[in-house]
Amino acid sequence: MSLQKVSLLFLIFLLFSEAVDAKIVLGSRRNDVHGVYVMDDDGSNQTLLVEEGERWHPFPDRWSPDGKKILFKNRFGQFLMNPDGTNFQKLNTPNGRIGAMSFSPDSKSIVFNMIVNIDIKEIKTVNVFHIETGEVKKIADVVASTCDWAPDGKHIVFAEQGVVGGVGGTLWIMGSDGHNPRKPLKPPILGRFKDPR
C-alpha cells in the first residue's frame, strides 16, 4: 500500500473519530446525590437521570446497542429507561439473585444468570428477557457467574463459576436458545509430548 493511501486512510480515521459523539452511563455520588448519570466521553455535560436514596445505590449495567435504552438495577429490581431518564420501566424478572445483564446485539432481549432458592436448594440458570413482550424464558440450567451475547446474536457466552470461591472458572458458549453448550477452546493436554533430545 502506498504512503498516499495510508495517509488518506489515517486522515479519514481522524475525521471519523472526531465526529463520534460518545456517551457514558455510570452510577455515582455527586454533591451528596446518589444516582445514575450520563456524561460525554470527555467527562463534560454530567447529567443526573435518576436520583436514588442514601441506602440503595443504582448500578448501571449497560447501554443498549441501539442507544435507546439504559439498563440499571438497585436493591428493588432491574429497570430500563430512555437515555434522558424518561420512560422509567421496572422489569418483571423472577425473584432471585440476578447477576449481570446484557443486551442482545439487536437491543430486543436481555440475557442474565440467576440463582433461586427452592426448598433449601440453589437452582442456577441462564435466562433471556424479551423487552417487547416482558416474557422471561429460562434457556439453560448451568452454573454461570456471568453471561453475554456474542456479536452475531446467535450465541451466548458464559463463565462457569469456579469450584473454589468462584475462582478458576471456564469459558463456555451455547446457542442463543441454550442448546449445545461447549467450551470454545480445549485446554492443552499435558504429558503427551516426548522430549526431543
Tell me: the pLDDT tens digits for 149-186? 999 999 998 887 654 444 456 788 889 998 888 887 65
**Contacts for 66 with CB less than 8 Å, ≥ 6 apart:** 106, 107
**What pLDDT does residue 11 have?**
45
Which pLDDT belongs to residue 59?
Answer: 63
Q: What pLDDT is recorded for position 193?
A: 44
Name the stretches of the chain with pLDDT < 50: 2-3, 5-20, 55, 163-167, 190-197
State the chain's mean pLDDT as an integer.
Answer: 75
User: What three-state secondary structure class fits 16?
Assistant: helix
Task: Return the pLDDT at 21.
Answer: 61
173 vs 111: CA distance, rounded Å = 13
CB 59 within 8 A of CB 36: no
Cα torsion angle, 166, 114, 83, 16, sign: positive
Distance CA 85, CA 91 (A): 16
pTM for this entry: 0.70
